[in-house]
Amino acid sequence: MTDRIWKLAHGRDIALGSRAVIMGVVNVTPDSFSDGGRHLDPARAVDHAKRMIGEGASIIDLGGESTRPGGDAVGAEEEQRRVLPVIARLAAETDVLISVDTYRSETARRAIDAGAHIVNDVWGLQRDPQIAGLAAARGAGLVIMHNGRDRFRLDDQIDDQAAFLGRSLEIADAAGVPRERIVLDPGFGFAKDVDDNLALIARFAELHRFGLPLLAGVSRKRFLGHVTGRTEAAERDVATAAANVALRLRGADIFRVHDVAIHRDALAVADAIVAAGIAARNRACT
């Protein structure tokens, strides 16, 4: 397997392909569905991020506004008040790659100035298209997520992915964002029911049609609770790991998770299986 190099802000990059990359989630919010309120204090958020780094996270994804259904909207000023001090400290005290989970171009700009390398936009550049121009100008990595909320959706999951993400890539292209800076996220849980999410895992390999690295964000999502009967989000880490192993075997590159330690081991096994499959195919061809 040939690695692809994801180019990021501040001259950084990361190889994607032969090894699963773990992105640790730190929600600096009072109301996120899994860990809301636990890391609202910047010092606690930094400590939690450092723990994740020690457990194997290569990227820390920081969000200042909950994206759960029914979550309280906040303004840009409050969002920035929550995340910027954490970004600044992590940039000063660690070498970790930092992602900011925002759909606002002004928050993204200030986050990059504070040391962030990646902008993770859950609206796929379609809420605030200026994010694309900002990413191009600052050389930031860009995660473009599929979102099914508040719009007409095609019946077929992959067709809808192609339509939405195709439009997002048109916006990125028009702004001059090189493809080497883009990762796609199919947006598990965003206006998708249990069957939709399970079908998306089963058909995940079809998303390679875009020719871009893929991020999977299934961590502790409600559909996993439906499958397992686990009503509490924090009880869904084993289910998350199982889903992410399946996604790794279908070609996902980056895994956005709340429990890093369990995924370090689970994805190491998945990586070994992928490598063994490649080796077997190579032997068969010689």
- Give the model's pLDDT for residue 114: 98
* Residue 191 neighbours by CB under 8 Å, 6+ apart: 147, 148, 149, 150, 153
> Where does the chain show beta strands of DSSP type E?
4-7, 13-16, 21-27, 59-63, 97-101, 118-121, 141-145, 182-185, 215-216, 254-257
Contact 48, 25 (CB under 8 A): no
- Give the model's pLDDT for residue 69: 64
Please report, rounded to a whole number, the percentage of residues in the chain having pLDDT higher than 90: 87
- Give the model's pLDDT for residue 13: 98
Q: What would you measure as the largest C-alpha separation in the chain, in angstroms?
A: 60
The count of other CB atoms within 10 Å of the CB of residue 143 is 25
Strand partners, 283: none
**What global pTM score does this model have?**
0.94
- Give the model's pLDDT for residue 286: 75
- 4-285 domain in CATH 3.20.20.20? yes
Categorize the per-residue pLDDT at 285 as very low, low, confident or very high, splitting at 50, 70 and 90: confident
Q: What is the pLDDT of residues 146-182, one digit of tens each?
A: 999 989 999 999 999 999 999 999 999 999 999 999 9
> What's the whole-number average pLDDT of the chain?
94
Long-range contact list for 275-280, CB < 8 A, 24+ apart? 275/1, 275/18, 278/1
In degrees and rounded to multiples of 5, residue 250 shows phi and psi of -100, 5
Alpha-carbon separation of residue 216 from 46, 144, 157, 247 (angstroms):
24, 12, 15, 7
Length of the chain: 286
- Give the model's pLDDT for residue 33: 47
C-alpha atoms less than 13 angstroms from C-alpha of 12 in its C-beta half-sphere: 19
The average pLDDT across 127-133 equals 95
Alpha-carbon separation of residue 53 from 22, 49, 100, 121, 273 (angstroms):
10, 6, 16, 22, 25
- Give the model's pLDDT for residue 50: 97
Question: With 70 as the cut, is the pLDDT of residue 122 above it?
Answer: yes
Q: What is the pLDDT of residues 50-106, one digit of tens each?
A: 999 999 999 999 999 977 666 567 889 999 999 999 999 999 999 999 999 999 999
In angstroms, the CA 62 to CA 74 distance is: 15
- Give the model's pLDDT for residue 55: 98
* Surface-to-core class of residue 59, CB atoms within 10 Å of its CB (0-12 exposed, 13-18 middle, 19+ buried): buried
Which of the residues are catalytic? 221, 256
- Give the model's pLDDT for residue 51: 97
Secondary structure class of 132 (helix, strand, coil): helix
The average pLDDT across 275-279 equals 93
Question: With 90 as the cut, is the pLDDT of residue 7 above it?
Answer: yes
In angstroms, the CA 104 to CA 119 distance is: 10
Q: Which is nearest to 224 in space by CA: 258, 183, 253?
A: 258
Categorize the per-residue pLDDT at 199 as very low, low, confident or very high, splitting at 50, 70 and 90: very high
C-alpha atoms less than 13 angstroms from C-alpha of 251 in its C-beta half-sphere: 21
Q: Of 34-38, 205-209, 276-280, which one has max mean pLDDT? A: 205-209
Q: How far apart are the first and last CA of the chain?
A: 16
In the chain, where the domains are located = 4-285
Indicate the angle between helix axes 42-55 and 76-93, nearest 10 degrees: 50
